[in-house]
Amino acid sequence: MGLTAHPFIALRRVRILPRWMRRADALASRAINGHRHLPSLDRALARLSHLADRSRLWIGIAVVLYALGGAARRGAVRGVASLVVGSALANLVGKQIFGGDRPVLKDVPVPRRLKKTPTSASFPSGHSASAAAFVTGVALESRRSGVILAPLGAAVAYSRLHTGAHWLSDVVGGAALGSAVAVTGRLLVPARSIREPARSAPAVELPALPDGTGALILVNTASGIDPLRPEPVNFLSEALPGAATHVLEEGDDIAELVRDALASARPPLVLGVWGGDGSVAAVADAARRAGLPLLIFPGGTFNHFARTAGAPTIDDAVDAVRSGAGRRVDIAELTIEGDEPLTVLNAASVGIYPDFVAERESMENRLGKPVAALVAAAKVLARAVTIDVRVDGRPARVWSVAVATGANSSTSMVPLQRRRLDDGVLDVRVLHARGRMPRLRGLVALAFGVRASAMLDRVPGRARLATIESFTTTSLRIEAQAGVSEPVGFAHDGEVTPSASEDRTVSATVAVVPGGLDVYGLASPSRPA
């Protein structure tokens, strides 16, 4: 018989649980233990049960969900919060009040038993409470993630029955407790509604191309990881049969392709792009130089600018170009060492983030962008070093400086979601490396954003100045000191531009350009699935 912490816990179980429930426990136990022995299933469920010890399984999944961003990130936060409360109530309160003895081990086939027999009280099951709390919490923010995780949560709960660690009533009670905690949390802290894309910029009438005639669309087939997204060339040939398409290949110069098209007998009226934020920024730069409106087909993983501009789906982009609906939006220009300015749609940065982008890109073809981002963050943060900069003449030692086009609603270190499209400002985030424990403070700020950083800054004995300094401006000059062997690299919209200068100090200027780009986008785009 499983051991318990107190000799009278078993009597409490008999006294509290009704006879029919104890009879159901016995019937379920006999049915499971009498089922034919399947070695592979027994081993798999024992390993799964062990993996869920101390919620390690759910914390690992939460890290992956957090890296994906959006609703999945909010689900990770709510799931972990629900898990913490549900686990505490199950283990610190429920087991002390109800308790009960665990199933008799002699009735459980030896191959199914856990290597280490639990000694705590039986009711309710802490593993089941944690699984239900986490999965329900995730589902309340991201239904798709919750549906994917539900079978895993059910498998963890069943593993406690299969291994003889709990009775059926323990598992049902724990699952009910965990789900109730998550739902109660939803009532106390409602799920954040999906923020509407920023569409405050002036509407403009752009060329309406019902069948796409007059559009040149550059296609990056390597962008994105969505298996449900259609093949771009076939989709475009059906949706916009009159459009000219060009599939980008390694070595293609987008600016040169556009110049050749403009010099042709039938120059394009509209420049389009199918790809992610990096591809979109490169084609946007060419469109600005050519004086053409930009048409975006969100074919990347994150598609930050396309969502903001009112084209979160490829169908929205088709509808916008057919009707001629568009916006005149602000952009920014990044000028490095006096070179030609580069168009910045979302954000430019220096420090840790460019290293992260370069590391991620080296792995994303093999691992996919979200997993590559997670691995890249771990590798970069492990070897991160501070850099000396001057921000508009002010000296500072920092982990990173990020400059976004437009004031942002994001609380992360690298802001990517504009509040407006025409506010005429830059949103600057400086991740300082100062005060006590600068690496810990920097990593917390980089990983969890402004709010977590602010909480750590309030701990007594810490630096008075914020780890993340945030302000708005219209122009910013950054002078960065290069490392002994590492050049300074500036990232912009997911791409990295290393400095060609041999000087140790590299200068760059970021300036906002009000109304610098015309973009196709609907006033009320459909919501992405």
pLDDT in tens, 329-374: 999 999 987 688 999 999 998 888 767 766 776 776 666 555 565 5
Token pair recorded at residue 139: 């589902």
Is the residue at 293 inside a domain?
A: yes
Both 183 and 208 in one domain: the answer is no
What's the Rg (C-alpha) of the chain? Answer: 28
Q: Note whether residue 64 is domain-resident.
A: yes
Together in a domain, 125 and 262: no
Q: What is the mean pLDDT of residues 190-199?
A: 49
Do 467 and 397 share a structural domain? yes
pLDDT of 386 over the 60 cut: yes
For the chain, give the mean pLDDT.
79
Biggest alpha carbon distance in the chain?
92
* Residues 250, 362 within the same domain: no
With contact defined as beta carbons under 8 Å apart, do 369 and 278 qualify? no
**Domain annotation covers residue 524:** no
Is there a single domain that holds both residue 309 and residue 359?
Answer: no
Domain extent for 431: 347-515
Q: Looking at the domain assignment, is residue 526 inside a domain?
A: no
Q: Which residue has the higher pLDDT, 43 or 427?
A: 427
pLDDT more than 90, % of the chain: 28
Mean pLDDT of 502-512: 83
Read off the pLDDT of residues 92-108 as tens digits, 9 standing for 90 and up.
877 777 766 766 666 66
Residue 178 or residue 118, greater confidence: 178
On whether residue 152 sits in a domain, the answer given is yes
Res 321: pLDDT? 96
Whether residue 173 is found in the same domain as residue 60: yes
Tokens of 144: 């798709």
Is residue 421 domain-resident?
yes
The amino acid at 290 = A
User: For residue 195, how many other CB atoms are within 10 A of its CB?
Assistant: 10
CA–CA separation, 400 vs 350, rounded Å?
6
Give me the percent of the chain exceeding a pLDDT of 70. Answer: 74
Q: Are 68 and 148 in contact (CB under 8 A)?
A: no
Does residue 464 carry a pLDDT above 80?
A: no
What is the signed CA dihedral for 47, 53, 55, 57, rounded to 10 degrees?
A: -20
**Claim to verify: residue 292 and residue 219 sit in the same structural domain:** yes
Q: Is 60 exceeded by the pLDDT of residue 191?
A: no
Q: Which residue has the higher pLDDT, 526 or 293?
A: 293
Q: What is the mean pLDDT of residues 176-197?
A: 69
In a domain, 527, yes or no: no
Residues 307 and 256 in one domain: yes
Cα–Cα distance between 431 and 465 in angstroms, integer? 11
Tell me: do 223 and 280 sit in the same domain. yes
The confidence score (pLDDT) of residue 195 equals: 45
We report the CATH number of the domain holding residue 358 as 2.60.200.40
Which of 296, 329, 362 is the last residue in one of the domains? 329
CA atoms within 13 A on the CB side of 82: 37
Domain boundary among 280, 296, 329: 329
CATH number at residue 45: 1.20.144
Burial class (CB in 10 A: 0-12, 13-18, 19+), 486: exposed
Mean pLDDT, range 164-192, rounded to an integer: 78
- pLDDT digits 0-9 by tens, 277-326: 889 999 999 999 999 999 999 988 778 888 888 888 999 999 999 999 99
Of 206-210, 314-318, 319-323, 458-462, the least confident: 458-462
Q: Which residues of 115-128 are buried (b: 16+ CB within 10 A; e: fewer)?
A: eeebeebbbbbbbb
Domain count, the chain: 3
Over residues 189-194, the mean pLDDT reads 52
Q: What is the mean pLDDT of residues 113-134?
A: 78
Whether residue 125 is found in the same domain as residue 216: no
Same domain, 500 and 463: yes
Please check whether residue 522 lies inside any domain of the structure.
no
pLDDT at 108: 65
139 Rama class: left (phi>0) / alpha (psi -120 to 50) / beta: alpha
pLDDT digits (tens, 9 = 90+) for 19-51: 777 777 777 777 776 666 677 777 777 788 778
Ordered alpha helix ranges (H), 324-368: 352-367
Once rounded to an integer, what is the mean pLDDT over residues 369-392? 73
Cβ contacts of residue 369 below 8 Å, gap of 6+?
A: 224, 225, 301, 302, 360
